[in-house]
Amino acid sequence: MTFPIVEVPSDASTQLEQLGTKAKFWYWSGDGRSMLFKEGRPGTGENWSEKVCCEIARQLGLPHAEYELALWRDRKGVATPSLVSEGNRLIHGNELLARVFDQYETAIRFRASQHTLRRVAAVLRSPAIEVPTDWNRPHEIENAAGVFVGYLLLDALVGNQDRHHENWGLIYSTKSGLALAPTFDHASSLGRNETDENRIERLSTSDKGRSMEHYVARARSGLYETHTSRKAMATLDAFVEGAKLDANAGHYWLGQVAALQPHVFREILDQVPDDWISPAARSFAFAMLEINRHRLVAKRKLFP
């Protein structure tokens, strides 16, 4: 059994954004939903990594954007429903932080050292910001900041290196106010940009400097420890430090990942059609998930 492929009508594009060789546009689905089609860059695994991360987020119980593998004019991509309904809007993290912190630079997307974990946590602890709408909040999670700790755990698990300040945000509703948006945009994960040659070498090498363990430890978040830091935090460190700010949330999310058995990762990856992912990419992603799961579970002693 494989994931279904959404067939996007060839005439669906009404607002085409051409980004290099990539297509990205909004369209209306047959059931009346506003959908975004995003084409993965050729030669990468951006499409399958987005879908796999979506399914892992589901297993963890995280509020997340839904993604389906999709085809438009024989071009492979993903389709995702809009996170906002009519009359509401998405406020990206950079816009939000600029409202709170003076001289915050919104235009810098990458290497934005003002995008610190403590700033994000401080803002999301505001009682004015609710947890994601329609999400069944566990009693261990007290606020939006606790949910965001779960997003950091997902990043550490899948090796997501793209949690910059436009890849999280709030949804403003005229009826209910502000709520944290579900986690979205995880295509920069699971080694999706590696060549099969590199994947095979890392999976089999005895060179510690080229090992899978060394590879996963290099993953960097889009968050910084302080505004003067020269490097972004490692994804695992970002989760640990975020969890220290909310130990109940840290304990809860670590319990969620500890409950995932290896066969769950295998079953998700096996549902990606063979013409969307290579055998080496499938094995590489599975190895990443297993190693990162063990690295995360080892941190449970910090949050008894």
Distance CA 193, CA 213 (A): 17
Contact 47, 276 (CB under 8 A): yes
What is d(CA 76, CA 46) in angstroms, rounded to the nearest whole number?
Answer: 10
Strand partners, 179: 130, 171
CATH 3.20.20.140 holds for 5-81: no
Fold of 85-304: 1.10.1070
- Mean pLDDT per 10-residue segment, the chain (304 residues): 94 60 81 91 94 98 98 94 91 95 89 95 96 95 98 98 95 92 97 96 95 96 95 97 96 97 96 97 98 97 89
| Closest alpha carbon to 202 in 272, 83, 125, 286 | 286
SS3 call for 46: helix
3-class secondary structure per residue, 154-212 = HHHHHCCCCCCCCCCEEEEECCCEEEECCECCCCCCCCCCCCHHHHHHHHHCCCHHHCH
pLDDT at 19: 45
Sign (positive or negative) of CA dihedral 236, 79, 264, 261: positive
171 beta partners: 90, 179
12, 37 contact by CB (below 8 A): yes
The residues spanned by each domain of the chain are: 5-81, 85-304
In angstroms, rounded to a whole number, what is the distance separating the alpha carbons of residues 94 and 81? 23
Q: Do domains 5-81 and 85-304 have the same CATH topology?
A: no
pTM, to two decimals? 0.95
Nearest CA to 217 out of 156, 140, 131 is that of: 156
